[in-house]
């Protein structure tokens, strides 16, 4: 294993520091899980799938607004439905469902920390967790109702299993197989593909060409087998057509079609966004690799993390769908590599990173307080006017509880920055604390402003009040999946796609400036509306002329 400098043992994490770091992780992970509606776009359609399970009890076929939605397996939706039902006496269904996001995020932090401790020694687990919550790419996504968080947990379990395999073969195999299975039941084939490619690449190194490693891979395959077979088998028994739609249309066949097309225009998308998505883990990881460059390919921990990152980057860059949220698994090996840098980071660089974080987050926090006060007091500043124009119709109001929470967290951040001891961990702790401060301010002071532009509740309520007392089915035209889900949740309105000719009502989603509806002599517009402040989406309800 790589020999670390003596600074590795400096400033050990005492029980008091451990409690402080645990509290920081809890505040970061727990803030924003409750108190707001499902937001567009990903939360809205994801909760629609959860809502179907709550309404029908059918967990086998993911269903959105009455129609099968076979894009992903249902593990995350089942978990979210369980949390929503468990906490339904106290929380709204969508808030209860969002607790599943906190559950999976907590597991991700746990297994990332365990992997860091296994690879780099005691005291490194907390550092890895703190670096991960400090990554900008985790901030919003870790608090959303999205199935990618379950995939992230599966990947973290697999990394811990790989790290553990040289010492505890059986447990490593169980973790590898379970992590692969969770990832498969969350997002489909991507987790098994990553497992196979990472395992195969590691076998290129002598450190990993051992019977112990092969044995752990065999155990992993056995442990993953139930995860990989039970739901697909039940789905096939229920409907071979839906099984083929999931396995081929949305997954394997889609990948083959993309590979044959040769259109890889977005292949470098993740390379371009990683500098901000993985900040501050990326520069710290690069420094760790540079410092160990003479031995980096000889040490098993670096082999594992570099192989994992490269495999994830290449594989995820060559799949049909390219989105920022799909890059989350790459943050895991980067955070672990960044953990190795804390013992070799030069004091000047650490201090520069520390002060950059303090000044940046401090300035942003001041701007957030100033902007909120400007809205509340209507100080007629340019930024206040811009904020009002961005969310027209928003009426600011003072809410005591969120205000005092924001005050308390701001004061605690100042105390933490002032009191954190001098160590190489100081920079990453302050970065994570600054990120947490901004998130708390956003979810307290700024939540009403954000909610007014991201929630569909008021729009659906207005639409429902405009529906004729007696009507048949409602056709939907150009409606997105998230919009159809929120129509059902907030208004019990089920829209049918491709039902224009059979329904007496037609709901059309379009731009602010509308094109005339086809066969306009047969349709009369009876309602028009949209989300508060949305200058792009507009919804129009038409009734068939008898």
| H or E segment and range at residue 539 | strand 538-544
Q: Which of 341, 376, 408 is the last residue of a domain?
A: 341
Residue with tokens 């501050």: 280
The residues, any chain, with a CB within 8 Å of residue 210's CB and separated by 6 or more, are 166
What are 20-63's pLDDT values in tens digits?
A: 899 999 999 999 999 999 988 789 999 999 999 999 999 999 99
Is the separation of the CB atoms in 135 and 434 below 8 Å? Answer: no
| H or E segment and range at residue 487 | helix 481-491
pLDDT at res. 276? 94
Query: Do 337 and 471 belong together in one domain?
Result: no
Q: How many C-beta atoms surround the C-beta of residue 60 within 10 A?
A: 15
What are 342-397's pLDDT values in tens digits?
A: 877 777 877 888 888 889 999 999 999 999 999 998 887 888 888 888 887 788 89
For residue 205, the enclosing domain spans: 41-341
With 80 as the cut, is the pLDDT of residue 14 above it? no
Query: Do 225 and 291 belong together in one domain?
Result: yes
Q: Which of 454, 488, 520 is the last residue of a domain?
A: 454
Residue 450 lies in a domain: yes
Residue 403 lies in a domain: yes
Average pLDDT over residues 506-529: 79
Q: What percent of the chain lies above the pLDDT cut of 90?
A: 64
Residue 245 lies in a domain: yes
pLDDT at res. 512? 67
Residue 312 lies in a domain: yes
Q: Which of 121-130, 170-179, 392-401 has the highest mean pLDDT?
A: 170-179
Q: Which of 284, 312, 341 is the last residue of a domain?
A: 341
Residue 142 lies in a domain: yes
- Picking from 382, 349, 324, the residue whose alpha carbon sits closest to that of residue 135 is 324
Query: Do 325 and 387 belong together in one domain?
Result: no
What are 66-111's pLDDT values in tens digits?
A: 899 999 999 999 999 999 999 998 999 999 999 999 999 999 999 9
What are residue 509's phi and psi, to 5 degrees? -100, 130
What are residue 68's phi and psi, to 5 degrees? -55, 140
Query: Do 523 and 377 belong together in one domain?
Result: no
Residue 3 lies in a domain: no
Domain count, the chain: 3
- Cα–Cα distances (Å) from 340 to 116, 284, 296, 432, in that order, read 9, 8, 12, 17
Query: Do 316 and 366 belong together in one domain?
Result: no
Q: Kindly indicate the confidence band of residue 135, based on its pLDDT and cuts at 50, 70 and 90.
A: very high
What are 326-350's pLDDT values in tens digits?
A: 999 999 999 999 998 887 777 787 7
The residues, any chain, with a CB within 8 Å of residue 284's CB and separated by 6 or more, are 131, 337, 338, 341, 342, 345, 428
Residue 161 lies in a domain: yes
Structure token digits, residue 303: 């082999």
Structure token digits, residue 454: 């991201």
Query: Do 399 and 258 belong together in one domain?
Result: no
What are 235-246's pLDDT values in tens digits?
A: 999 999 999 999
As separate numbers, helices (DSSP H) first and strands (DSSP E) second, the chain gives: 23, 7
Query: Do 166 and 184 belong together in one domain?
Result: yes
Helix axes 281-291, 124-134, angle to 10 degrees: 140
Top pLDDT among 370 and 258 is at: 370
Residue 23 lies in a domain: no
Query: Do 124 and 246 belong together in one domain?
Result: yes
Query: Do 381 and 369 belong together in one domain?
Result: yes
Query: Do 198 and 263 belong together in one domain?
Result: yes
Query: Do 396 and 409 belong together in one domain?
Result: yes
Is the separation of the CB atoms in 228 and 184 below 8 Å? Answer: yes
DSSP codes of every residue in 423-434: STTHHHHHHHHH
Query: Do 324 and 230 belong together in one domain?
Result: yes
Mean residue pLDDT across the chain: 89
Is the separation of the CB atoms in 101 and 148 below 8 Å? Answer: no
């Amino acid at each position: 294993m790589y020999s670390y400098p003596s600074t590795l043992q400096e400033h050990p994490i005492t029980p008091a520091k451990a409690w402080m770091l645990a509290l920081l992780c809890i505040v970061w992970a727990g803030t924003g899980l409750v108190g707001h509606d499902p937001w567009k776009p990903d939360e809205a359609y994801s909760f629609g799938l959860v809502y179907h399970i709550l309404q029908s009890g059918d967990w086998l076929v993911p269903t959105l607004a009455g129609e099968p939605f076979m894009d992903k397996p249902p593990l995350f939706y089942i978990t979210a439905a369980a949390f929503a039902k468990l906490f339904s006496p106290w929380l709204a269904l969508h808030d209860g469902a969002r607790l599943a996001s906190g559950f999976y995020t907590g597991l991700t932090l746990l297994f990332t920390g365990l992997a860091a401790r296994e690879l780099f020694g005691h005291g490194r687990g907390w550092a890895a967790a703190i670096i991960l919550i400090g990554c900008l790419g985790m901030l919003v996504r870790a608090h959303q109702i999205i199935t990618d968080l379950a995939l992230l947990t599966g990947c973290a379990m697999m990394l811990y299993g790989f790290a553990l395999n040289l010492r505890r073969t059986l447990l490593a195999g169980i973790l590898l197989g379970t992590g692969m299975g969770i990832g498969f039941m969350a997002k489909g084939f991507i987790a098994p593909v990553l497992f196979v490619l990472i395992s195969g690449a590691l076998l290129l190194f002598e450190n990993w060409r051992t019977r112990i490693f092969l044995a752990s891979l065999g155990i992993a395959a056995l442990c993953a087998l139930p995860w990989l077979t039970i739901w697909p088998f039940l789905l096939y028994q229920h409907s071979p057509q839906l099984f083929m739609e999931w396995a081929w249309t949305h997954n394997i066949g889609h990948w083959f079609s993309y590979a044959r097309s040769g259109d890889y225009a977005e292949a470098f998308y993740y390379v371009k966004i990683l500098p901000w998505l993985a900040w501050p883990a990326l520069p710290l990881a690069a420094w760790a690799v540079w410092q160990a460059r003479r031995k980096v390919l000889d040490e098993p921990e670096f082999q594992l993390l570099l192989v994992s990152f490269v495999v994830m980057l290449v594989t995820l860059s060559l799949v049909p769908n390219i989105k920022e949220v799909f890059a989350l698994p790459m943050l895991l090996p980067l955070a672990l590599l960044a953990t190795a840098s804390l013992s070799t980071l030069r004091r000047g660089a650490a201090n520069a990173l520390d002060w950059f974080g303090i000044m940046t987050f401090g300035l942003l926090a001041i701007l957030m307080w100033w902007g909120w006060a400007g809205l509340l007091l209507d100080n007629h500043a340019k930024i206040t006017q811009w904020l009002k124009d961005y969310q027209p119709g928003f009426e600011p109001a003072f809410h005591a509880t969120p205000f005092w929470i924001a005050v308390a967290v701001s004061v605690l951040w100042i105390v933490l920055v002032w009191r954190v001891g001098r160590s190489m961990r100081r920079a990453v702790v302050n970065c994570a604390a600054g990120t947490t401060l901004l998130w708390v301010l956003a979810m307290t002071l700024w939540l009403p402003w954000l909610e007014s532009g991201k929630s569909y509740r008021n729009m659906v309520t207005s639409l429902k009040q405009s529906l004729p007392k007696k009507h048949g089915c409602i056709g939907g035209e150009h409606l997105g999946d998230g919009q159809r889900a929120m129509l059902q949740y907030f208004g019990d309105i089920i829209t049918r796609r491709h039902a224009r000719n059979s329904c007496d009502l037609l709901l059309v989603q379009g731009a602010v400036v509308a094109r005339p509806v086809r066969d306009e002599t047969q349709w009369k517009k009876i309602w028009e509306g949209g989300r508060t402040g949305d200058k792009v989406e507009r919804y129009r309800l038409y009734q068939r002329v008898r």
